[in-house]
Structure 1
Amino acid sequence: MKSPEHARFTSGETDPVWIHKVPYDSMPRFSKLDRDLETDVCVIGAGISGISTAYELVTRGLNVVLIESREVLSGESGRTSGHLASDLDDGYPEIAKKHGDKGARLAAESHQWALNRVGELSKQHGIECEYRQLPGYDFSQYPKGTKEHADDIRTIIEEGRKAKEVGLEAEYKEGFKLRGWDGAIDQSDAVIYANQATFHPTKYLVGLLEFLKQQPNFSCYTNTRCMDVSEKGVEILGMGHKDVYVKTIDGHTIKCADAVEATMIPLQKLSVIAQEEYFRTYCIAARVPKGSIEDCLFYDSAEIYKYVRLTACDEKSDYLVVGGGDHKVGQDDTLAPFKELEEWTLARFPQVQSIDYKWSGQVNEPVDFMAFIGLNQGMKHVYIITGDSGNGLTHGVLAGKIIADDISGENNPWSEVYDPKRVASMLKSLPSIISHDLQINAQYKRFLQSDITDIEDLVPGDGGVLNTKTSSPLAVYKDEGGRVHKFSALCPHLKGVVCWNKAEKSWDCPVHGSRFSRDGVQLCGPAKGGLGPADEGGEESQKQAIEG
C-alpha cells in the first residue's frame, strides 16, 4: 500500500512504466504560491497541455505563471501510453461526418504538426526522450479467412482512404511481416500509416520544464490549487478590458490578462462538460528481449481496441506497452482490464519475460470527436483545453499553439474545428448528447444503493459506498492497519455518488469523471475540492480533506 503522499505525484495507486526511467523524486520541484501576483497569462495545470501552452507563450515574450494543484505531471500526462498519432482514434470517416472534409483536414494537419513539434523541440533543446517517427499498423482483430476479418478489412481500408484524402500517408498492405510479431495470431493485413511517432512523455516534459525554469518571464508554483477563475471589468465592442482573477484555495489571487485552464476538465458546473464522456483506460508494460520485436505502432480494430508500442527498459530488454480495456468512469470492474490485456499479450508474444507495470488513466471523449480548445463559453479571456478523445498528447501540444496564437493576435486556421463554442457539429451530435444525458441521470440511482452492507465486511485496503438509509451515502475506506475512514460519498461537483476503484484505490464519480484519492483528496476535476467529511461539513471541512 502506497503512502498518502503518493497522491501528490500521480493520480492512482498504480505506477506507470515511465517512472522506470524518470522516478517521481527526479522530477522538477517548485514552491507553493504564498502571495498575490500579476502576470500576462496564468496557466492552470502542469501536464502536457499546460506545459506546452506555457512554452509557446514564454518563447513569444509573454510573462507566464504556471500553477499545479499537486506536483508537476501528477495528472494524466504521466499515465499515458506514449503514442503520438495523427491517425486519430475516431477515424476520419466519422470525423468528416461531424465536421466536414475541411474539418477533417484541419484535424489531420494539426495532429501531424503536433507530433512533428515534439521531435523539433526535443532536438532544439537536446531532450533525450526516445522520440522517433514510426509506421502505425491498423489491422483486423479477427483471423484471416473469416467473415469478420473481411468486414473489418473493408472498414480499415475505408478509414485509410479517408485519411489519405485529408492529407496523411496511408497504404493498405496484405500479408505484412514484422520481426517478433510471428506469434500475433491476428497479424495479416493492415493499413500502414507513415510518419506516426512515439516518445517518453515525462522525459520530454521534464526537458521543457528545465528550459522554462531558466527563463526570466516564467514561474511555476505547485501544491497551489485553483478554486475560481473570473473576469472583472468592462469590455464592449473592443473598448476596455476585462482582467482575469485566478483565486487559490489558500486565498491568494493571480491577476492576469488571460488565463488558460489546462486541467483536463474545466473547473465549472456544465457547458462543455456535458458534451464529453469520461473513460478509464488501461496499460501494461511487458519485458521482452531487446530487439526481439519490430519498433512500430500497432492497433487492432476492436471497438475497445488494443494498441502496442515499445519503450526502453535496459541494455538487455525493452518494454512492450499494451493498452486498451476502456470503460466509462465508475461503471465497470477496474481489475478485469489488466487481466484481459495480459491474456491478449501473452497469447501473441511468447517472448514476454514478465509483466512489470500495470496502470490506468483517464480520457475524455467529446460527442463530436474533437477537443475543446479556445475561449471558454461566455468568456473573453479565459481559455480551456479539454476533450482529448484518446489523443491527449498531440491535443496538448497543438493546443499550446492555438491558444498562444490567439493571445498573440495571430490567426490560426485550426481554431475553427476546436472552438468550444462550435454549434454545427454539436447539432449533428444531438442523439449522442441525449443518450449521454440519460446515462448520466441514471447514475443518480446510486443515491439509494450500497456497495457494502456492513463496514465490518471490508477487508484492509478496500473501500465501498454504504447507504445508511438515514443520511447521505458514505464513502468508507479501511486502511491496511484496519482503521476505518469515512467521507461523504457525494461528489462536490454535482452530488453524484462516487464509486470505489479497486485498481487505483480511488473514489471515482460516474457523472462527470471527478476523482479523489482514498483519503478524499481531489485528483481530477471538474470538482474543485475533495470529498467532504461524513457529515458534509461545509467548505472548511472540504479544505481540510484536500490538505490531508
Structure 2
Amino acid sequence: MNRLADSGSSYWMGTAALPSFPPLAGAAEADAVVIGAGIAGLSTAWELTRAGLDVIVLEAGRIAGGVTGHTTGKLTALHTSVYATLRTEHGDDAARWYADSQSAALRHVVEVVGELDINCDLERRPALTYCEQPEGVDALRAEAEAARAAGLTASFVTETGLPFPVAGAVRVEDQAQFHPLAYLSGLVDDLVALGGRIHEGTRVMELDRGDPCRLGTDTGATVSARHVVVATHHPLFDHTLLAARLTQHRDLVIAGPLPAPRDPEGMYITEERGKRSVRTAPLPDGGRLLIVTGEAFKPGTGEDTEAGYARLQDWSEQHFPDVTITHRWAAQDNSSTDTLPLIGRMPAGGDNVYVATGFAGWGMTGGVMAGTAIAAVVRGEPEPWTDLYAPSRLGSTVRSAPTLLKAQWETGKHFVKDRLETFGDGTDGTVRELRPGQGTVVRAKDGPCAVHRDDRGGLHAVSAVCTHLGCVVAFNNAERTWECPCHGSRFGVDGEILQGPALSPLERRDPDEL
C-alpha cells in the first residue's frame, strides 16, 4: 500500500485562484449583509446584488474556505435515497418540490457558467446510488420509483461504470460535476464588479434584530442593514434553537491521479461500508483525479480518523489499483432531523433575518437553491417550494420528533457524561504518556484540559470546554484538531476557532501545571 498522503488541503483549495479581501473597518451600511462566504452565502449575495441591492459579505476566515472548499463538487438532484423517505414522511408533493428545486439549482449553475464564461471544469455526468449487497436492492428499486414519481429521469440498473459488480443502482442522467471554487471565483468577480463588498477575517459576534439590523464584529467594525442572511453552516444567533434540529457528520476524502481509461464516468455513492462516494475530475495533463469519500463519523467522539483514512485508501487501491493517493481532506456537513434543509426566514428573527443550513452533504445544489430562494423572498416573489424548506415549518418537525429527541439525547449525554468523567482535582497522568502527534483530555483543577504533544515533543494545552455551549471536546488524530460532539465546533491545538458555531477560542492553559 502506498503511504497515505500527508496533504490536509483539499484539491479544490490548492488549485483555486480566489481573490483576497480586507477585514471590515469602521461603520458600514448596506441593504443586505450575508454572514458566511461559502456557496450558500456567495450565491445569495450574488443573487441579491443582481437584484439591485447593496450587499456586504462578512466571512470569519477565507471565502469558500470552510465546508464549500472541502466538498466533492457534485451537482445532482439524486441525493442517495432521499425520495423514498420524502414520499413516506412528507408526501408526494414534497418529493416533487424537492426534485424541482434541486434540478432548478443544477440548471441555474449551468446557465451562470455560460453567462459569465466561467472555466470550472463543468461536466455532465450521470449520478448513481448503488449497493453491493443483495439485501439493499429492494430499497433502491423503491428509490428509483419514488425519484421517477418526483419527476427525475431515474431508472433501476444492475450495470455501472464501476470496476466491480453491484447488486443494483438508481441512475439519473444528465447531472453535473464541477470545480466548486473555480465556479465561485467567477461568481465573486461578477459580484464585486456589480458593487458587492466582501470582507474576510471578520467574524460577526453580535446581531441586534431590528429595522435596520445592527451587527458587531470581532474587528470592532459595525454594519447596519435591512436584511441579514445567516449562511454559516451551523446557524449563529439561533434564539429559536434551530441547532436542536441539526445533526453533524464528518466525511474523509482522498484523491489522486487515475489514468483516463480507468474513469468510471459517473458520480457514485453508496451508504454501505460507512459510505463510499466516487467521482473523477479532469487534470491538466489529460488524466483524471479520482476522488473517494467515506468513513462518515460524528465529530468529537474520539473516532480514530487515521484508521478511517487507511480503510478508505485500502478500498480505493483495491478497486482502482492504478491510483496513487496525493491528497486527503475532510468535509463536515449537517442534516436536519426531518431530512429537509432549513432555508428562509429565521423563526423569531423578524421578517428580515434569513438562514440557510442543513444541506446533508448536498450543499452544491442546496446552496445555489438557497441563494435563489432567499433572494426571491426578499424581492417579494417567493419560489413555489419556499414553504417546503421554511425553518418555521411545524408538520414535518412533529413527524420527525423521534429523530429530534434521539439527537438531543446524544447531545445531552455528551454534555453530562463527558464532564463527569473529566471534571475533578489533579490530573489522570496520561499527559506523560502522550506520544508526538497525540492528544487527550485530562482532569485539572480548573476543569477538563485538552492537551496535544506536537511532532517536536512540545505540549499545547487549552480548556477542553467548548465555548459554544460547554460540551467537552475530543481529539481528531488525523487532522490534529479538537472537536465538539454536541454541535460540531472545531478548534486548532492552540484553541483557535476552525469552524463554528463557537465564536470564541478555547482558553489557553499552562502545560507545565498539568
Using structure 1 for the length normalisation, give the TM-score: 0.87
Q: Does 1:16 align with 2:10?
A: yes
- The answer for the alignment partner of 2:385 in structure 1 is 414
Q: 1:477 aligns with which of 443, 452, 456?
A: 452
| Alpha carbons of structure 1 residues 480 and 452: separation in structure 2 relative to 1, 3 Å | farther
- Please say if residues 81 and 129 of structure 2, whose CA atoms lie closer than 8 Å, have aligned partners that are also in contact: no
State the shift of 1:330 in Å.
Answer: 1.3
- The answer for the alignment partner of 2:411 in structure 1 is 440
Q: Does 1:94 align with 2:94?
A: no
| Alpha carbons of structure 1 residues 449 and 313: separation in structure 2 relative to 1, 3 Å | farther
- The answer for the alignment partner of 1:495 in structure 2 is 470
- The answer for the alignment partner of 1:267 in structure 2 is 236
State the shift of 1:165 in Å.
Answer: 0.1
| Alpha carbons of structure 1 residues 70 and 13: separation in structure 2 relative to 1, 3 Å | farther
Unpaired runs of 5+ residues, structure 2, are 1-5
CA distance in 1, matches of 2:69, 2:270: 24
Q: 1:196 aligns with which of 175, 187, 196?
A: 175
- The answer for the alignment partner of 1:40 in structure 2 is 31
3-state SS in 2 of match to 1:157: helix
Q: 2:191 aligns with which of 208, 212, 215?
A: 212
State the shift of 1:169 in Å.
Answer: 0.5
CA distance in 2, matches of 1:480, 1:140: 41
State the shift of 1:116 in Å.
Answer: 1.4
Q: Deviations over 1:260-292 (max 9, x none)?
A: 011001113561101111111111113211233
CA distance in 2, matches of 1:152, 1:113: 30
3-state SS in 2 of match to 1:531: coil
CA distance in 1, matches of 2:10, 2:452: 24
| Alpha carbons of structure 1 residues 362 and 177: separation in structure 2 relative to 1, 3 Å | closer
| Alpha carbons of structure 1 residues 103 and 303: separation in structure 2 relative to 1, 3 Å | farther
Q: Does 1:508 align with 2:483?
A: yes
CA distance in 2, matches of 1:112, 1:336: 37
- The answer for the alignment partner of 1:70 in structure 2 is 61
State the shift of 1:482 in Å.
Answer: 2.9
CA distance in 2, matches of 1:411, 1:360: 35
State the shift of 1:34 in Å.
Answer: 1.0
Q: 1:167 aligns with which of 146, 151, 164?
A: 151
Counterpart amino acid of residue 156 in structure 1: L
- The answer for the alignment partner of 1:375 in structure 2 is 345
Q: Does 1:458 align with 2:437?
A: no
| Alpha carbons of structure 1 residues 130 and 30: separation in structure 2 relative to 1, 3 Å | same
Q: Deviations over 1:178-216 (max 9, x none)?
A: 3xx3x32x3354221112211011111111111212122
State the shift of 1:156 in Å.
Answer: 0.6
3-state SS in 2 of match to 1:355: coil
State the shift of 1:132 in Å.
Answer: 1.7
- Please say if residues 290 and 315 of structure 1, whose CA atoms lie closer than 8 Å, have aligned partners that are also in contact: no
3-state SS in 1 of match to 2:124: strand
CA distance in 2, matches of 1:177, 1:365: 29
State the shift of 1:512 in Å.
Answer: 0.9
CA distance in 2, matches of 1:244, 1:268: 13
Q: Does 1:404 align with 2:375?
A: yes
- Please say if residues 13 and 504 of structure 1, whose CA atoms lie closer than 8 Å, have aligned partners that are also in contact: no
Q: 1:51 aligns with which of 42, 46, 50?
A: 42
Q: How many residues align?
A: 497
State the shift of 1:13 in Å.
Answer: 7.7
State the shift of 1:300 in Å.
Answer: 2.6
3-state SS in 2 of match to 1:205: helix
CA distance in 2, matches of 1:316, 1:15: 22
| Alpha carbons of structure 1 residues 448 and 214: separation in structure 2 relative to 1, 3 Å | same
State the shift of 1:163 in Å.
Answer: 0.3
Q: Does 1:244 align with 2:213?
A: yes
CA distance in 2, matches of 1:489, 1:301: 33
CA distance in 2, matches of 1:165, 1:327: 32
State the shift of 1:173 in Å.
Answer: 2.5
Q: Does 1:350 align with 2:321?
A: yes
| Alpha carbons of structure 1 residues 308 and 393: separation in structure 2 relative to 1, 3 Å | same
State the shift of 1:251 in Å.
Answer: 2.3
Counterpart amino acid of residue 457 in structure 1: E
Bigger mean CA deviation after superposition, 74-83 or 454-463: 454-463
Q: 1:223 aligns with which of 198, 201, 209?
A: 201
Using structure 2 for the length normalisation, give the TM-score: 0.93
- Please say if residues 152 and 301 of structure 1, whose CA atoms lie closer than 8 Å, have aligned partners that are also in contact: no
Percent identical residues = 32
Q: Deviations over 1:391-433 (max 9, x none)?
A: 1111110000111011111121111111011110010111111
CA distance in 2, matches of 1:338, 1:389: 21
- The answer for the alignment partner of 2:3 in structure 1 is none
Q: 1:137 aligns with which of 128, 138, 145?
A: 128
State the shift of 1:508 in Å.
Answer: 0.5
- The answer for the alignment partner of 1:155 in structure 2 is 139
3-state SS in 2 of match to 1:447: helix
- The answer for the alignment partner of 2:421 in structure 1 is 449
- The answer for the alignment partner of 2:112 in structure 1 is 121
- Please say if residues 452 and 465 of structure 1, whose CA atoms lie closer than 8 Å, have aligned partners that are also in contact: no
- The answer for the alignment partner of 2:259 in structure 1 is 289
| Alpha carbons of structure 1 residues 259 and 343: separation in structure 2 relative to 1, 3 Å | same
CA distance in 1, matches of 2:273, 2:101: 25
State the shift of 1:29 in Å.
Answer: 0.3
State the shift of 1:531 in Å.
Answer: 1.1
- The answer for the alignment partner of 2:311 in structure 1 is 340
